[in-house]
Amino acid sequence: MTKLAIMGAMEEEIEPLLAHFTNVNVVEFANNKYYEVSHNGLDIVIAYSKIGKVFASLTATTMIEKFGCDTLLFSGVAGAINPELKIGDLIIADKLCQHDLDITAFGHPHGFVPGGSVFVETSKDLREVAKKVAVENNLKVIEGTIATGDQFVHSTERKNFIESTFKADALEMEGASVAVICDALDVPFFILRAISDSANGGADIDFDEFLKSSAVNSANYLIKIVEKLNK
């Protein structure tokens, strides 16, 4: 690994990451800011993409193609579908899908387009490192399927559809698009989310309240993973 990309979707998701660094070089490009830092000799670029699949795709591609990052880690928050996931819990994606991608009218399954696949798998090696870090720090982390879509899902009916269709454990708005980019460009990647609203809770109430604390949980865990990768 020569240069590491760390992404979040919102400022709140990368603020706790940036707090770990002092000398930060800010590069403005394509209506966004990229924060260049160094950690124990490892060059890192940190950015928040803005919310949604298009912005996440743009940011991931920029980090790989313009900044030369060859590994990408995503840190952020997600809503739970799996009832075992509670607010603040950590989930790492073994695979991701786009729950709002729908050309079923042409006989294809939900989440599929020709030339693509319903699910994109994350890097097994990075997941193994993350699991070792979790054990060493006595953190409860589950591996599961994360579903991505350009909508903030708060209806039980929609959550039930996503759970039954994709067997997803958590929901967010960026991960699968980052997965498609990294998979296509052959860049190992890892998607980490901390739960900010529970499967049976009111997303409108929970999200704002738990966004910052869950983002800190995700960021602190990710920094430990970075330190392990850099050894």
pTM value surpassing 0.85: yes
Q: What is the pLDDT of residue 206?
A: 58
Beta carbons of 160 and 51 less than 8 angstroms apart = no
Q: What is the pLDDT of residue 219?
A: 87
Q: What is the pLDDT of residue 207?
A: 62
Instruction: Report the chain's terminal Cα–Cα distance, integer Å.
Output: 11
Provide the CATH number for the domain around residue 158. 3.40.50.1580
Q: Which residues touch 201 (CB under 8 Å, ≥6 apart)?
A: 87
Q: Which residues touch 52 (CB under 8 Å, ≥6 apart)?
A: 9, 150, 173, 174
Beta carbons of 183 and 66 less than 8 angstroms apart = no
Main-chain phi, psi angles of 111, to 5 degrees: 85, 5
Q: What is the pLDDT of residue 123?
A: 98
Q: What is the pLDDT of residue 201?
A: 61
The alpha carbon torsion through 165, 169, 171, 175 (nearest 10 deg) reads: -100
Q: What is the pLDDT of residue 88?
A: 87
* Cα dist from 29 to 8, 22, 73, 190, whole Å: 17, 21, 20, 24
pLDDT means per 10 residues in the chain (231 residues)? 92 91 96 95 96 98 98 94 91 97 97 97 97 92 97 90 97 97 98 84 60 83 90 75
Q: What is the pLDDT of residue 199?
A: 67
Tokens 């869950």, located at residue: 214
* Cα dist from 126 to 47, 61, 122, 162, 192, whole Å: 20, 20, 8, 26, 11
Please tell me the distance from the alpha carbon of residue 39 to that of residue 226, in angstroms, as a whole number.
9
Beta carbons of 46 and 35 less than 8 angstroms apart = yes
Q: What is the pLDDT of residue 93?
A: 98
For the chain, the domain total comes to 1
User: HSE of 170 in the Cβ direction (CA atoms, 13 Å)?
Assistant: 36
Tokens 């994606």, located at residue: 93
CA nearest neighbour of 215 among 2, 13, 7, 8: 13
Q: Which residues touch 185 (CB under 8 Å, ≥6 apart)?
A: 61, 64, 65
Domain hosting residue 93, numbered range: 3-229
Catalytic residues: 13, 197
Query: What is the CA 108 to chain-centroid distance, rounded?
Result: 26
Q: In the chain, helix, strand, coil percent, each to 5? A: 35, 30, 35
Q: What is the pLDDT of residue 126?
A: 97
Q: What is the pLDDT of residue 204?
A: 52
